[in-house]
Amino acid sequence: YLCLFSLRSGHSNYYDLLGIKQDATMEEIKQAFFTKSKKLHPDRDPNNPNLHSQFIQLNEAYRVLSKEGSRRLYDSQWAWHATRPTAEHSPISVPLSLSSWGPDKNTRYWEQFHTHRAEAFSGAQAKQRQHWNRQLFGYCLLLMLGSMAVHYVAFRKLEEIHKRFMDNKDELITSIYNESKERA
């Protein structure tokens, strides 16, 4: 989904590729993309095969950074990898791809939880968040129990209405049968 790699064009991340700061607004990202895409578009110089690959990288950078969720994930994963230097390379120069982090194919899924632990909050923030989470859990539980109660009552009421309807039909059929029997 997200590629964290050293870009072949010499840029260390998507922000550098677009020529913007990490705190850039969505409008600045969009503007930088349009400006760069005009320069790197493959139709501009069909004889230059590098333009195509650079344009693809530019599109990928814009795709990731233009959406708030994918941008947050990219930032957190980039920061997380920047704090984990390898023995041979710095984290920026090592080609990183979420699909090549190890034998486990679900690694990409589990990596997202490394940056959002409760320890990332101060003591007061952690307690407040824990309180909010418990409160949310309580409300969800209450909603489920309430829903079960409503369904139970509704089912019983429907059963009662159905039984009354069937009793009325039974009485009607019985009276028709008795009248037919008396006439015969």
Q: How many CB atoms lie within 10 A of CB 144?
A: 10
User: Residue 103: what pLDDT?
Assistant: 42
Show the tokens assigned to 66.
């233009």
Q: Are 24 and 32 in contact (CB under 8 A)?
A: yes
Q: Taking residues 32-47, report their average pLDDT.
A: 89
Kindly state the tokens that stand for 145: 């129990």
pLDDT-derived band at 113 (thresholds 50, 70, 90) equals low
Q: What is the mean pLDDT of residues 147-175?
A: 97
- Short-list 45, 79, 74, 76, CA closest to 61: 74
CB 6 within 8 A of CB 12: yes
DSSP conformation class of 91: T
Give tens-digit pLDDT for 70-100: 888 888 887 777 666 554 444 444 334 443 4
Per DSSP, the three-state class of 87 is coil
Task: Give the pLDDT confidence score for residue 78 in this predicted structure.
Answer: 79
* Structure-token match 């009662």, residue found: 160
For residue 4, pLDDT over 60 is answered with no
**DSSP SS3 for 52:** helix
Poorest-pLDDT segment among 9-23, 44-58, 104-118: 104-118
pLDDT for the residue numbered 118: 45
Mean pLDDT along residues 159-165: 97
Please state, in angstroms and rounded to a whole number, the distance separating the CA atoms of residues 114 and 101: 14
Residue with more model confidence, 127 or 123: 127
Phi (first) and psi of residue 149, to 5 degrees = -65, -45
